[in-house]
Amino acid sequence: MRIEWSHLNKVYTSQNRPRARRIGLLDFTAAARKGITAVLGPEGSGKSTLLQLTAGLLVPDDGRITYQVTEGETVIWSKGRAAAVGTSALGSLKSRITYIPPMRRMNKSISLEKYLLYHAQLGQMPYPRRRVAELIAEWGLAAVRRVPLSAIPGEMMKRVMLVEMLLRDPLIALLDEPTAGLDQWGKRLLWRELRRLAPHRIILIATRDLRWAECADDLLLMESGSCRRLGPKKLLTANVPEGTVAAWYEMMQTFSNHRSRPRRGTFIADRREKGY
Ligand SMILES: Nc1ncnc2c1ncn2[C@@H]1O[C@H](COP(=O)(O)OP(=O)(O)OP(=O)(O)O)[C@@H](O)[C@H]1O
C-alpha cells in the first residue's frame, strides 16, 4: 500500500479577482506508506490542499496521485482522468477513503444514532447496532444520540465524524486537524484508535498539535506548497537533543527563517543562482 504524489500543482483563483492567484501546491512530490504520516507545516503551507486532492475532492492542475492499493491494483487521480471520467476515476477506492475536515456542521434532520447505523451498514460492519452503541458510549455521545445532526454542537461534531470514520473502516484516512475541539480524553482515545488502524492503512494527519503528532510513524514537512522533508519520525527526531516532534519542527523552522531572510543587498534572483 502506497500513495505517490508526483509533481502536483494546485493554484486557486478567485472568481471575482481572476488575476489574484494563490498557490495551494507547488511541484509537490512525495510518497506515503502504510501507517500514520503527520503532515506538518506553517499556516498556508498546503496541508489541507494536499489532503483534499488526495481525497479526490479537488482536481490537481498538473501532476498525478498514484494509489497502490493492493499488489497489482493501481489507481490514478489527475486532471486528465478527472476530465475523462470525473471522480469515478477513483472507482471503488473512493468509498474506502475517508476525509475529515477541521470542522463541519451538518444540515440533516436524521438522528445521530440512525446516521451512524447507516454508516456501519455501509461499511458492512458486523453487528452494526452493537458497534454503534459501543462507540456512542465510548466517545461520550450518549446524551445526543437521538438528537438531529443539525442540532449537534460544533465541537461534538468532530467526535461524530471520527466515530463515522471508525464505522466505515477506510483504507485511507485523511484527517485535517483531528484534535481541534477534542479534550485530553478525546485525544488519547483517537491516538489509541489510529494506532490500532495504522498497521493496515494509510493515515495522513494534517496537524499543528505537535505533541499529539508523536503518534505518527512518518513526518512530512511542507513549506510553500512543496515537500521540504519526509522520513521516519524516529530518524528525523534523533537529530535533535530533545528527540521530540516539536523540537525537530522548531529546528526546521529556525533554518527555514534563516534561509528565507534575504541578506542586505541580495536579490531573490541572486539567491536562487547561489542555491540558497
Ligand atoms: N478555497 C481557496 N481559495 C483560495 N485560496 C485558497 C483556498 N484554499 C486554500 N487556499 C490558499 O492556498 C494556500 C494553502 O492553503 P492550505 O489551506 O492548503 O494550507 P494549510 O497548510 O492547510 O493552512 P492552515 O494550517 O492554515 O489550514 C494558502 O495560501 C491559502 O490561502
In the chain, where are the structural domains located? 2-97+170-257
Residue whose CA is closest, atom 6 of ligand 1? 12
Residue whose CA is closest, atom 9 of ligand 1? 24
Residues of the chain with pLDDT > 70, as a percent, come to 92
pLDDT (tens digit per residue) in 215-247: 999 999 999 999 999 999 999 999 899 999 999
Residue whose CA is closest, atom 28 of ligand 1? 44
What CATH superfamily classification does 2-97+170-257 receive? P-loop containing nucleotide triphosphate hydrolases (3.40.50.300)
* CA–CA–CA angle 137, 206, 117 (5° rounding): 30
Buried (b) or exposed (e) across 67-100, using 16+ Cβ within 10 A?
A: bbbeeeeebebbeebbeeeeeebbeebeebbbbb
CA distances from 248 to 29, 48, 256, 263 (A): 22, 21, 12, 25
Average per-residue pLDDT in the chain? Answer: 88
Over 60: is that where the pLDDT of 268 sits?
no
Instruction: Identify the residues whose C-beta falls under 6 Å from ligand 1.
Output: 12, 22, 24, 41, 43-49, 206
Closest atom of ligand 1 to CA, residue 25: 14
Q: ipTM for the complex?
A: 0.96
Residue whose CA is closest, atom 30 of ligand 1? 44
Closest atom of ligand 1 to CA, residue 225: 14
Closest atom of ligand 1 to CA, residue 102: 27
Confidence of residue 271 (pLDDT cuts 50, 70, 90): very low
Residue whose CA is closest, atom 26 of ligand 1? 43
Measure 52 CA to ligand 1 centroid, in angstroms: 11
Residue 25's pLDDT is: 97
Measure 185 CA to ligand 1 centroid, in angstroms: 30
Residues of the chain with pLDDT > 90, as a percent, come to 65
